[in-house]
A and B are shown apart, each in its own frame.
Chain A
Amino acid sequence: MTTTQEREDLLSELGLDAQNSAAIGRVLGTGRTERATERADGTMEATIRIREDEIAWDPAILVLPHGGDVELTVINDDKNTHACLLPSNGDKKFLWLLNHSKGKAKLNLDGPGYYWYSSPGGNDEGRGLTAAIVVLGEVPPEARLDRPDQPRQ
């Protein structure tokens, strides 16, 4: 059995957790996971950033407790320009991220599942600058099927 730490160590040893090490880009699915916080009015908040020379979003997986509105602080700590294209109901949200810049993004995500986002500038997209926002929870009770509870796992 592989523990989380063993996995991180192995990725590091193999050079799969960084840009232009073993592989050219950073392998998807590596990186930290973090929960969003929630304000009293139900709006969720989180910060996502690109750290220097990592060319990856941190956290790689942002977890929202439920669907709804989320306000992100988006930071580029890198010395290169990137961008951010995020999923949201109505239209995708786009933000240019010059070197060492910080902006905001207001999103609405209305249901459980995971949503990809990326940096669609230049060659970023293929190099690991792809990450996920995961929305937990169930659909509203009125949208559930009228049947006894079913096995899920």
Chain B
Amino acid sequence: MTVEYVDAGEAIDHGALSAVSGTAPAVTDNIDYERIKNARSESHNWITYYGDYDGQRYSLLDQINTENVKRLGPAWIFQAGTSGQIAGASTYAFEATPMVVDGVMYVTGWDGWFWALDAKTGEQLWRYKHAVPFDVSLCCGNVNRGCAVANGKVYFVTPNAHLLALDATNGKKVWEKTIGDVRAGESASLAPLVVKDTLITGSAGGEFGVRGHIDCWDLETGEQRWRCYTIPRPGEPGSETWPSDGEAWTRGGANHWVTGTYDPETNLYYAGTGNPAPDFDGAVREGDNLYSDSVVAVDVDTGEIQWHYQFTPHDLWDYDSTMEMTLFERDGKKLLGHFDKNGYFFVLDRTNGELQHVTPYVDRIDWGTITRDGKVTPRKYPDKEGEPVHFYPGPAGAKEWTHAAFSPRTEMFYVPVADVGATATRRRREFKEGMPYWGAAVQVDIDNMAGSVSAFDTYGVERWRWRNSHPMAASVLATAGDLVFAGTPTGEFLALDARTGEELWKFQCGSGHHGSAMTYMVDGKQYVAVPVGWGGWLEGIIPGMLGAGHGSALIVFALPD
């Protein structure tokens, strides 16, 4: 006799088995280019990646200030803990910058997660989960840095290189585009940037030998407007900096994997590019290797590179230049400041790329020297097969992707500094699509390290330093309350006096910081939010903290009522 099966029905959304309501107020409906251009004027919100197109990570909010910050305490905590296996269980990190629009917070996580939260209470309003293959080649770590908001939608990329537009009221997919080739080792991790009626994204995967690119997409349809490759084909401008008789240009990296900045007046998008591939074996890619380790100023209407500046020509140390290009003005001049992985602080004229000056910002630099007028002289690099070479800073740089901040009030930059070296031993390998393509064995020092939050004026003069025993690996936030917020690898979240560097407040968050704090206001109350989730490319950043707990919480602070 056949026994009928019990009817188990149809599988349901996992989120239905939670308190998620599934809806959020339609607060992003009227966010457009005009509002984003003036984002800082609505500092109660945080509506674009750096808080404003200029990349300053500076907020006009001053309710929390040097006088009262000692009373700061947790207001709510969002625990992102996920069910089932997650891709790269040992390597995820919470690297996002949350967005806030009129009381609603949008935050991305690793592994394709997106959450909408009530910014006042932490209540989860809706969630989206993209299915990410376990075997995607991730460079480096299972991470995502945030989203964009506009026109009733939110936009983000996934580790398997998809760009998604979701309905901001319910998290339902509106459109989706495949923006990279996972079979070639491409992935995606940056927060898209809304410029005019488009979105700008970039690719990740330099460590797998891809050809980096910046892309522009129609905000409403997802149709591609342009693609700008950051490695020229033979015959294109810059191609003379790659071997003419080889294939090096086809696999040379130079990925744009951190959101760029934008100046509406010059109409230029300032994109940082990654290291050339293979990272440490320069003999297979003789030449300067443009446009790796550069800032490229891209016309947002055409996708054409208008000017470029290369911070580390023919990089042999893994010194990506993807991190922020901070826009500021001095004596009426439109400038761009950039703290590079190579240990030097560059200031350029952002209208034409003309170098103003270069200054070291970390104590130990011995890979080479760069003079104040920009002359580069390499000194120590992996050159011979099997011969170890130790150099400072290591491949995570004197500052990794995490962001500096700039306060127009103090006219100072605040920089999370890492002072640690590494040993690279050249080991040539043949190129295979989707396989790591480093060209060396690399060991980052596990002791003899230091870190700091350092303050520099716009000429590169150090004004103060808050010292730490570990390299700093999280973004810094500056506010009009004359505060600088920073997170440490060991879990402390700090408030420093922006003028003196004095430590005014700290809170142990239970896990290391490798993300980007931000601040916002709801119903007249200022909050400071920080994602806490320690992981990612830790063997390159601080291998001595590889065994620390990961965490996956977003912690929001406020003054008591």
Docked complex Cα distance between A126 and B227 (Å): 45
Instruction: Tell me the nearest residue of chain A to B15, going by C-beta.
Output: A91
A120 CA / B3 CA spacing, docked (Å)? 26
| Interface: B180 (CB within 8 A) | yes
B83 at the interface (CB under 8 A from A): yes
Residue of A with least CB distance to B9? A103
From the candidates A74, A146, A153, name the one contacting B211 in the complex (CB within 8 A).
A146
Instruction: Say if the beta carbon of A32 comes within 8 Å of chain B.
Output: no
Q: List 11 A-B contacts (CB under 8 A).
A: A87-B131, A91-B13, A91-B129, A101-B6, A103-B10, A110-B176, A113-B136, A132-B134, A139-B180, A139-B182, A146-B229
Which residues of A from 136 to 153 have beta carbons under 8 Å from B? 138-140, 142-148, 150-153
A152-B11 contact given A90-B128, A101-B5, A102-B5, CB 8 Å threshold? no
A101 contacts B431, CB within 8 Å?
no
Known: A114-B135, A120-B84, A143-B181. Is A90-B11 also a contact (CB below 8 A)?
A: no
Tell me if A95 is interfacial: C-beta within 8 Å of chain B. Answer: yes
A90 to B250, CA, bound (A): 35
Please tell me if B64 contacts chain A, counting CB pairs below 8 Å: no
A72 to B161: give the CA distance in the assembly, Å: 26
Evaluate contact between A91 and B14: CB separation under 8 angstroms: yes
**Is A103 a contact partner of B7 (Cβ separation < 8 A)?**
yes
A117 to chain B: closest residue by CB:
B84
Q: Which residues of B contact A145 (CB under 8 A)?
A: 181, 184, 186, 210-211, 213, 250
B409 interface contact, C-beta 8 A: no
User: B interface vs A, CB < 8 Å?
Assistant: 3, 5-17, 83-85, 127-136, 160-162, 172-173, 176-184, 186, 210-211, 213, 224, 227, 229, 233, 247, 250-251, 430-434
Residues on B with C-beta less than 8 A from A74 are 8, 11
Give bound CA distance, A117 to B15, whole Å.
16
User: How many chain-A residues does the 8 Å CB contact rule pick out?
Assistant: 57
Residues of A12-63 whose CB lies within 8 A of B: none
Other-chain residue from A112, A146, A148 in contact with B183 (beta carbon distance below 8 A): A112
Taking CB atoms, residues of chain A closer than 8 Å to B160 are 110-111, 113
Minimum CB–CB distance for A59 against chain B, Å: 17
Interface residues of A (CB under 8 A from B): 74-76, 84-118, 120, 125, 130, 132, 135, 138-140, 142-148, 150-153
Q: Which of B224, B229, B431 contacts A142 (CB 8 A)?
A: B224
Residues on B with beta carbons closer than 8 Å to the beta carbon of A101: 5-8
How near does chain B come to A102, taking the closest CB pair, in angstroms?
A: 4
CB distance from B212 to the nearest CB of A (A): 9
Chain A residues whose C-beta falls within 8 Å of the C-beta of B247 in the assembled complex: 148, 150
The 3 A-B residue pairs with the shortest CB-CB distance in the complex, in nearest-first order = A113-B133, A103-B8, A105-B11
Q: Using A101-B5, A103-B11, A151-B433 as known contacts, say yes or no to A85 and B131 having CB atoms under 8 A apart.
A: no
Using CB atoms, name the residue of chain A closest to B178.
Answer: A143
Q: Which residues of B contact A94 (CB under 8 A)?
A: 11-14, 16-17
* Contact assessment for A116 and B85 in the assembled complex, using a CB-CB cutoff below 8 Å: yes
Q: Which of A87, A95, A151 contacts B8 (CB 8 A)?
A: A95
Q: Which residue of A lies closest to B3 (CB)?
A: A100
Inter-subunit contact B10/A106 (CB<8 Å): yes
Q: Which residue of B lies closest to A96 (CB)?
A: B8
Cβ contacts under 8 Å, B129 to chain A = 89-92
Decide: A118 and B85 in contact? CB cutoff 8 A.
yes
Q: What distance in Å separates the Cβ of A141 from its nearest Cβ neighbour in chain B?
A: 10
Most chain A CB inside 10 Å of its own CB: which residue of B11, B83, B227: B11
When distances are taken between beta carbons in the complex, the residues of chain B under 8 Å from A120 are: 83-84
Give bound CA distance, A125 to B84, whole Å: 8
Known contacts A89-B131, A89-B173, A94-B13, then 17 further A-B pairs from the complex at CB < 8 Å, ordered by chain A residue: A89-B129, A89-B130, A91-B129, A98-B8, A99-B6, A102-B5, A102-B7, A103-B7, A107-B131, A110-B131, A111-B133, A113-B132, A114-B133, A139-B178, A139-B183, A143-B177, A146-B229
Question: Do B11 and A112 touch (CB < 8 A)?
Answer: no
Interface pair A144/B184, CB less than 8 Å apart:
yes
Give Cα distance in the complex from A11 to B506, angstroms: 54
From the candidates A75, A95, A106, A111, name the one contacting B178 in the complex (CB within 8 A).
A111
Contact B181 A144 (CB under 8 A): yes
B224 near A150 (CB under 8 angstroms)?
Answer: no
- The answer to whether A150 and B178 have CB atoms under 8 Å apart is no
What residues on A are CB-neighbors of B12 within 8 Å? Answer: 93-95
Q: Please, how many angstroms separate the alpha-carbon atoms of A88 and B517 in the complex? A: 30
For residue B13, which residues in chain A have a CB less than 8 angstroms away from its CB? Answer: 90-94
Name the one of A85, A112, A118, A143 contacting B180, with C-beta atoms under 8 angstroms: A143
Across-interface contacts of B16 in A (CB, < 8 A): 94
A136 vs B129: C-alpha distance when bound (angstroms): 21
